[in-house]
Structure 1
Amino acid sequence: MRPSWMLRLFAAFGLLVLLAPGALVLVVSFSAGDFLTFPPPGFSLRWYEALFTHAGLMSALATSALLAAAVSALALLVGAPAAYAIARLDFPGRGVLATLLMAPLLLPTLVLGLGLLLVLQPLGLVATWPGLMLGHSLVAIPFAVRIMTTAFAAVPKELEAAAWTLGATPLRAALRVTLPNAAPGAIAAGVLTFLVSFDETVISLFLVGPRLTTLPVEMFRYAERTTDPLIAALAMSLIVFALLMVAVVERLMGFTRAMGRD
């Protein structure tokens, strides 16, 4: 059944409302003025040029990129075996395991950040790489588990059974047959967990320090003390980057399917 013109009209209006802030940021990012004003007094690339020469933001960008890559790898290392067990094995407590792995997504990140601060502070892990990795992994692993569960469930079990009949052990069959067929899901999980870590702000606010900070936190601090369009140029660059990453996920396995909503 094709949607009616009224439904299409409401959908178009909703899309317009969602895209309007991004369009505003796009225009302001090319402003030639010294302040965040709309409409801008002129257009220029000066703030994009200033962005890539800003030492503080570029240092925070490098930190966030390295941190997100490490968190993505850790989330896959932990999430892939758990997802395989949930999707392919039948054992007591499987539903409980799946629920526990998803539990961090049910809690406000403010609560998670405060809890992590109270736990990591006595251990001396606040404002450290291990502490940030642990905090970001707490919210990244559930995404990896959900996506990889969908990917493993889509691989026919008959392929593994055929490998068993040819003499492969269950572990070898999983590594040589199931995992390669689920590789697009693994790449999608890696991309999305990278974005989750790269964009994490609230937990980072509790765990960063003067000598170790992430890009979202540095953006927050910059916006508090400065009102120039450089922050709009940075925001637009991150929007384009996120869209490219989502396009990769959509190309590999479909964003809706990757999130387990197919």
Structure 2
Amino acid sequence: MKPSWMLRLCAAVGFAILLLPGVLVLIVSFSAGDFLTFPPPGLSFRWYGALLSNAQLMTALGTSAILAAIVATVSLLLGAPAAYAIARLDFPGRGVLAAMLAAPLLLPTLVLGLGLLLVLQPLGLAATWPGLVLGHCLVAIPFAVRIMTTAFAAVPKELEAAAWTLGATPFRAALRITLPNAAPGAIAAAVLTFLVSFDETVISLFLVGPRLSTLPVEMFRYAERTADPLIAALAMTLIAFALLMVVLVERLIGFTRAIGRD
């Protein structure tokens, strides 16, 4: 049954409300003025050029990119085995394990950030790479586990059983049969955990230092002390990057296939 015109109208209004702030930021990012004003006094690419020449923001961008890549790798290495156990194995406490791995998503990031600071500061890990990786993994691993659990569950168990009958050990069958079939989910999990880490702000505010800072934190600090369109240009650049990542996953494997729902 086709949706009614009223439902379509409500959906269109909802999308317009959600997209309107982004459209305003896009227009302001091309402002020729010196301040954040709408409508802009003119259009120019000057703030995109200023963004590229801002050494502090570019350094923070490199830090965030490296950090997000490390977090995505660690999240997959730790999350995939846990997801396999939850999706494919039957053992006491499986539900408890799944709940514990999802627990960080139920807590406010403000609480997580403060708790991490109190734990990591005495250990000398605050404002360090290991501390940031640990903090970001705390919120990234649950996403990896959720996606990989769905991807593993979608692989028919008969495939592993057939490999067992041909002499493969359970570990080899999982490695050679189940994991390749769940690879689209792994790609989606890697992209999502990369974006989660790259965009993490609150936890990073507690864990960064004067010599080690991430891009979201520097954006926050820049917006506090300066009110020019450079921050809008940076915001649109990050939105475009996130959209590009999503489109690439959709074009290469499709999100439905990526989460194991063919």
Q: TM-score, normalised by structure 1?
A: 0.97
3-state SS, counterpart of residue 3 of structure 2: coil
Q: Report the CA distance shift for 1:30/1:184 in structure 2 as closer, same or farther (over 3 A).
A: same
- For the residues of structure 2 that align with 1:239 and 1:30, how far apart are their CA atoms? 15
Q: Report the CA distance shift for 1:202/1:255 in structure 2 as closer, same or farther (over 3 A).
A: farther
After superposition, the CA RMSD in angstroms is 1.5
Do the aligned residues in 2 keep the contact of 1:72 with 1:140 (CA within 8 Å)? Answer: yes
> Could you give the per-residue CA deviations for residues 100-137 of structure 1, whole angstroms, max 9, x where no partner exists?
00000000000000000100010010000000000000
After TM superposition, the structure 1 stretch with the greater mean CA deviation from structure 2, 54-63 or 150-159, is: 150-159
Which residue in the other structure is 1:102 paired with?
A: 102
Q: Tell me the percent identity.
A: 82
Which residue in the other structure is 2:185 paired with?
A: 185
Do the aligned residues in 1 keep the contact of 2:188 with 2:258 (CA within 8 Å)? Answer: no
Do the aligned residues in 2 keep the contact of 1:148 with 1:189 (CA within 8 Å)? Answer: yes
Do the aligned residues in 1 keep the contact of 2:186 with 2:258 (CA within 8 Å)? Answer: no
Do the aligned residues in 2 keep the contact of 1:188 with 1:253 (CA within 8 Å)? Answer: no
Q: Where does 1:151-230 land on structure 2 (aligned, <5 Å)?
A: 151-230=151-230
Which residue in the other structure is 1:30 paired with?
A: 30
Do the aligned residues in 2 keep the contact of 1:150 with 1:257 (CA within 8 Å)? Answer: no
Do the aligned residues in 1 keep the contact of 2:67 with 2:133 (CA within 8 Å)? Answer: yes
- For the residues of structure 2 that align with 1:187 and 1:236, how far apart are their CA atoms? 25
Do the aligned residues in 2 keep the contact of 1:132 with 1:208 (CA within 8 Å)? Answer: yes
Which residue in the other structure is 2:8 paired with?
A: 8
What is the Cα deviation at residue 257 of structure 1?
7.0
- For the residues of structure 1 that align with 2:113 and 2:247, how far apart are their CA atoms? 30
What is the Cα deviation at residue 250 of structure 1?
3.2
Q: Report the CA distance shift for 1:71/1:241 in structure 2 as closer, same or farther (over 3 A).
A: same
Q: TM-score, normalised by structure 2?
A: 0.97
Q: Report the CA distance shift for 1:30/1:226 in structure 2 as closer, same or farther (over 3 A).
A: same
What is the Cα deviation at residue 248 of structure 1?
3.0
What amino acid maps onto 1:149 in structure 2?
T
What is the Cα deviation at residue 91 of structure 1?
0.7
Which residue in the other structure is 2:40 paired with?
A: 40
Query: Aligned residues, how many?
Result: 261
Which residue in the other structure is 1:254 paired with?
A: 255
3-state SS, counterpart of residue 31 of structure 1: coil
